[in-house]
Amino acid sequence: MKRIIFVFIAVVMSTVVYSAAMSNSRVRKETRFLTDKMAYELNLNTEQYNDVYEINYDFINAIRFLMDDVLRGEEWALNRYYDYLDVRNDDLRWVLSSRQYGSFMQASCFYRPVYVSGGRWEFRVYLNYTNHNHFYFPRPYHYRTYCGGHYRTHYPNMSYYRGRYNHSAYSGAYRIRDNRSYRTTRHSDFGSVNIRPDSGVRPSGTTRTGNYSRGTTRRSRVNTESEEGRSSSSGVRRSRSESNTRRSNFSEIRSSERESSHSSRSVERKRNR
């Protein structure tokens, strides 16, 4: 009996770890797999491939802790999930051509990439592509360095990707949260989740260990990581914000050099005495 109880606890704990504790490396791998299959089916060029990787990364990174609340049946978390999804799909609208976006919307594994089954949240793309280690394309050039620097928290709720491409963008309806079929879509994605009564408003003080605020846009984390991402990708991306970052980083380096030089001179004077 004790052994049965131990096995049951182990199974429950493994499910919790899968649903909540997605590491940064896991986020990048899941992002790459989804982006790779989108590039294959939608015939993306290299620039589109790199931008779609960023957009998918921002989405998956935003929901990875939110999904814990979704699985518990918190309605506010479900609504927040679709807010994140609408932002992601809007960003993709500016990267994909109108024809590509139409094909994207027809593929539920791309348009609505997450669903819940057996008490776990999964990516639909694995239903079509069962070999989790097969990739059609090499890693995006910024696979390890992009950390959310182009997410909307840095661009007054405007898409960074708007106006970057010359092709016409898709102009039809694309939002899920505002659609009349929102309830139907939500049931299709998360029908096995039992919605808690009176859970439409996020409880105050619901926080996670670290700098994460459950169900928020996680600005503090994104801001910290984006500086790392912009610094690492400087010299490759040509946006105005990254140019400012490079200048700021250059000033910090020069300041550090001056402090180091001053410290060395002080040590030398002490030795001479």
The per-residue pLDDT for range 179-189, each reduced to its tens digit, is 888 999 999 99
> What mean pLDDT is predicted for residues 12-31?
70
pLDDT, position 157: 80
Is 63 part of any domain? Answer: yes
Is 209 part of any domain? Answer: no
Measured CA to CA, the distance from residue 63 to residue 190 in angstroms comes to 14
Calculate the alpha carbon distances from 117 to 170, 259, 269 in Å: 32, 57, 70
Is 99 part of any domain? Answer: yes
pLDDT, position 3: 59
Highest-scoring range by mean pLDDT, 12-21, 165-174, 214-223: 165-174
Is 60 part of any domain? Answer: yes
Is 234 part of any domain? Answer: no
The per-residue pLDDT for range 142-157, each reduced to its tens digit, is 999 999 999 987 777 8
Mean pLDDT check: name the lowest of 49-63, 83-97, 231-245, 249-263.
231-245
> What mean pLDDT is predicted for residues 188-196?
94
pTM of the model as a whole: 0.69
Measured CA to CA, the distance from residue 28 to residue 33 in angstroms comes to 9
- The pLDDT mean for the chain works out to 78
Is 79 part of any domain? Answer: yes
Structurally, the chain folds into a number of domains equal to 1
Q: Which domain holds residue 66?
A: 24-190
Is 173 part of any domain? Answer: yes
Residue 1 banded pLDDT, cuts 50, 70, 90? low
Task: Check whether 243 has a pLDDT greater than 80.
Answer: no
pLDDT, position 100: 98
pLDDT, position 268: 46
pLDDT, position 152: 86
pLDDT, position 263: 47
pLDDT, position 156: 77
Residue 232 banded pLDDT, cuts 50, 70, 90? very low
Highest-scoring range by mean pLDDT, 10-14, 104-108, 178-182: 104-108
The per-residue pLDDT for range 46-99, each reduced to its tens digit, is 999 999 999 999 999 999 999 999 999 999 999 999 999 999 999 999 999 999
> What mean pLDDT is predicted for residues 2-20?
48
Q: Which of the two residues, 16 and 107, has the higher pLDDT score?
A: 107
Q: What percent of the chain has pLDDT over 90?
A: 60
> What mean pLDDT is predicted for residues 16-33?
79
Burial 55-82 (b: 16+ CB within 10 A, else e): bbbbbbbbbbbbbbbbbeebbbbbbbbb
Task: Check whether 199 has a pLDDT greater than 60.
Answer: yes
